Amino acid sequence: MRLLLINANTSDFVTSKVRAAAQACASPGTIIEAVTGNFGGRVIGSRTENAIGEHSAVDLAAKHAPGMDGVLIAVSYDTGAKALREMLDVPVLGMTEAALHAATILGGRVGMIVFGPRVLGLYRDVIDATGLAGKIGGWRAIDNSKPYAPGDQTEVEDQIVAACDDLIAKDWVEAIVLTGAVMAGVPARIQHRVAVPVLDGITTGVPMLEAFVKFKPAKPRTGSFAPITGREAVNVDPALIAKLKG
C-alpha cells in the first residue's frame, strides 16, 4: 500500500515530522510518501494562507497522487480535502477530521487544543464541516510557536499537559485532540500524564486511511464528488489541467 501525505504549506520541517510519525504508525509494507508545497505560507495560520494552501494541495495531488492508494491531508485545517475527493479516485482523509471522529468514538465530550487564538475560527470551520460541532466540550489555545521549529519541546509539552488537565477538570472532556501537523507523535510522549485519550491527526489518520483503502470504497459517479470532465483552466500546472479535463 502506498499513501501520500500532502503538506500544503512550505515547511520542510513539518513534512519531515509528519513523515516520520506516519511511517512509525503505518502497517508493515505500507509506504509513506510526503510532499511539501512549493508556494504559499510557510505555516498556514490565516484564512488567506489557507485559501492559497488549497491551490497548493490540488497542485501537489495532481503531480504526486498517481500510483497512490490513498491521500492524507497533513495540514490540520484539512486543506483541500473536499476538492481532492472530487479530483481523485482514491480515498482522501483530512487529519483533523480523522482525529475528531476517533475522539468522538473513544469519549463523549471532546476537548480541542490549538496553537494561537487567531486560528480558533479556522478550526471551528473544519469542525462545522464534519457535523460534529455538538461533540466539542471545550477549547484551549496555547500561545507558543516553538513546536514549529527544531529544539527542545519540554516547555510546550508541559503546556499541553496543563491544558489537557484544565479541559478535563473544567469542561469534563473525555478525549482530547491536539491540532497541528507538528503534533504528530506527541500524544505518545504525554499520554501517561493525561487521564483521557489524547489524539493527533497523523497517527490517527494513517491507520484510518489504511482501513479505507482496504475496503475499497466506490468513487461516486454522480453528485458533487463525481469525476471532473471537460473543464478548462489557464496558467496552472499541466498536471492539474489534465485532471480538470478528465
200-219 confidence digits (pLDDT tens): 999 999 999 999 999 999 99
Task: Give the model's pLDDT for residue 46.
Answer: 94
The CATH number of domain 2-95+205-245, selected from 3.40.50.12500, 3.30.450.20, 3.30.1330.90, 1.20.140.10: 3.40.50.12500
Average pLDDT, rounded, for the chain: 94
Residue ranges of domains in the chain = 2-95+205-245, 96-201
Task: Give the model's pLDDT for residue 93.
Answer: 98
Does residue 183 surpass a pLDDT of 80?
Answer: yes
Task: Give the model's pLDDT for residue 2.
Answer: 98
Does residue 146 surpass a pLDDT of 80?
Answer: no
Task: Give the model's pLDDT for residue 117.
Answer: 86
82-96 residue pLDDT tens: 999 999 999 999 999
Task: Give the model's pLDDT for residue 38.
Answer: 94
Total-model pTM? 0.94
DSSP string, the chain: -EEEEEE-SS-HHHHHHHHHHHHHHSPTT-EEEEEE-SSS-SS--SHHHHHHHHHHHHHHHHHH-TT-SEEEE-STT-TTHHHHHHH-SS-EEEHHHHHHHHHHHH-SSEEEEEESGGGHHHHHHHHHHHT-GGGEEEEEEE---GGGSSS--HHHHHHHHHHHHHHHHHH--SEEEE-SGGGTTHHHHHGGG-SS-EEEHHHHHHHHHHHHHHH-PPPPSSSTTSPP-S---SSS-HHHHHHHH-
- What pLDDT band is residue 160 in, cutting at 50, 70 and 90? very high
Same fold, 2-95+205-245 and 96-201: yes
- For residues 128-155, give the mean pLDDT: 86
* Side-chain half-sphere CA neighbours of 245 within 13 A: 9
User: C-alpha cell of 16?
Assistant: 519531515
| Domain 96-201 in this protein, CATH class | alpha beta
Task: Give the model's pLDDT for residue 145.
Answer: 72
Task: Give the model's pLDDT for residue 154.
Answer: 86
